[in-house]
Amino acid sequence: MSVFNYVDGKGYHQSKSLGKHRNTLSQMEFMRRKIKRGKEEFAPCARRITKKCKAMLRNKFDQINLFNSTLSSNKFKDYTCFYCTGRGHVAKICPTKLNDKELYAQAGSVTFRHGDEATRA
């Protein structure tokens, strides 16, 4: 169905179907504006939600870390360390062993040759 009809070779005139077409266009334009407004309103709301979620997760991680720290201190209370023979921890989490590893890492590997001469590898 055409939107325009040709009349007497002089020009065009509108058909009746154009009114429906305009109505559909106005509805589509209304929906586009409504969706655009919805997107504009959604962005700040989404930011607020993510900020609240991040704060909640930080709080939860703090609670978990606090709980884990109390657990580990009570768990190894009666244990004896095989690395330093200290009490209250095991060799895996021995503070002396961890400090020794840090010192070795800072010093790097050292090789000795004849006499007192030392070189870094």
Residues 117, 83 share a domain: yes
The span from the CA of 91 to the CA of 75, in Å, is 14
Domain assignment present for residue 44? The answer is: yes
Mind listing the pLDDT tens digit for each residue in 52-94?
888 888 899 888 888 877 765 666 778 888 888 888 888 888 8
Which one is predicted more confidently, 120 or 87? 87
SS3 state at 8: coil
Mind listing the pLDDT tens digit for each residue in 92-117?
888 888 777 777 776 665 555 555 55
pLDDT at 1 over 50: no
Residues 61, 25 share a domain: yes
What is the extent of the structural domain holding 35? 14-75
Domain assignment present for residue 8? The answer is: no
Instruction: Give which of 78, 96, 100 is closest to 87, Cα–Cα.
Output: 78
Residues 67, 88 share a domain: no
Q: What is the pTM of this model?
A: 0.29
6: Cβ–Cβ under 8 A, 6 or more apart, which residues?
A: 12
Domain assignment present for residue 96? The answer is: yes
